[in-house]
Copies of this chain bind each other. A is one copy, B any other.
Amino acid sequence: MALRAAVIGPTGYAGFHLVDLLLRHPEAQLVYLASARDKLPDIRQIYPQLIGRIADQVAVCRPIDVDSIADVADVVFLALPHGAAMGYAPALLDAGLRVVDLSADYRLDDVAIFEKTYQQPHGDRQNLADAVYGLPELFRQQLPGAALVACAGCYPTAAILGVAPLINHSMVKPERIIINAASGATGAGRKLSEATHFPQLNESFGAYGDIGFHRHQPEIDQVLTRVAGRPVRSFFVPHLLPIDRGILATIYLQPATADVTLGELFEAFADAYAEEPFVRVRDDLPNVKDVRDTNFCDLTVRLSGPEEDPIVTVFCAEDNLIKGAAGQAIQIMNLVFELDETAGLL
């Protein structure tokens, strides 16, 4: 019998891609779309791409009614704004549903850091303590049967996958990890803004935000610190690209010792990812176009700069809406329910 899935918050870009991926999934069935909007939308009016692919009774969003969802679904995806998921997760978990949350609500272990980063109190500390951090390549063993999984953020996924194997093998220093990242416009969401007004963004390129204080930096540091077993400190600078989709992280690191070789760096990645279906360690430089509309994260590494003071550069590319959001959520669902990890994703 197919796994029955509900999506709460399908009208955002991540929500749409959850719907799209679930409709293609060979072992899952989309049964319920739920929206917090007063006027419940038909998802096909927002995303005409879905016309002819989704049944009428599913396409029209219903209220976020926990009992109704629990009646028909096994798993629920929360694709809500940061701060909103924690309002629904407790009841959904109590009703016996598996919950995969795409927001930041359950990503940060430390409540104080969450509250400082997202400027709001955390309303569900108990589940926060139990939530699994949803980055399968690092924490796969915690996923089977997990009740609540917090999908890794879009930027953190690229950054962490690019750094973790080197930190883990102590091949790079844990400080001054410079993550120069760029994202396509869907990363900024469906909400209208000057920054994403077409004549403003088209043919443009620039960094954005409060440099050095992006909300994804604590998430990156928390996970890398856990991997390293000692404090890791990165420096994250995001840029906005005039394209729809894709994240590229260009990461500058300092070798831990002077004698590290490029071969060893590649070996560290090979060790980490040889068996991973969605990480491709490449010889040539990754490009967001190569991973568009896929769940892959492509990466490579270089060793160059002055011989006496070389620099390790890692390049990671992913689709922010797939491996950085909806695809990763489906990969997590597959692992939680012990399906083939790649089901519906290749």
Contacts and interface: CB of A to CB of B under 8 A. Distances in A.
Interface of A: 13, 23-24, 26, 48-49, 51-53, 175-176, 178, 180, 182, 185-186, 190, 192-194, 196-208, 211-213, 233, 235, 237, 239, 241-246, 248, 250, 252, 254, 277-278, 280, 282, 284-294, 296, 298, 302, 304-306, 309, 311, 313, 315, 317, 346
Contact of A199 (B175, B196, B346): B196
Given A197-B198, A212-B302, A292 B175 contact: no
Contacts of A313: 211-212, 237
Nearest to A233: B306
A206 B291 CA distance: 12
B305 A200 contact: no
A279 to B, nearest CB: 9
Contacts of A248: 205-207, 239
B235 A311 contact: yes
A178 B175 contact: no
Nearest to A321: B199
A280 B51 contact: yes
A181 to B, nearest CB: 10
A250 B235 contact: no
Given A24-B346, A277-B52, A176 B285 contact: no
Contacts of A178: 178, 252, 311
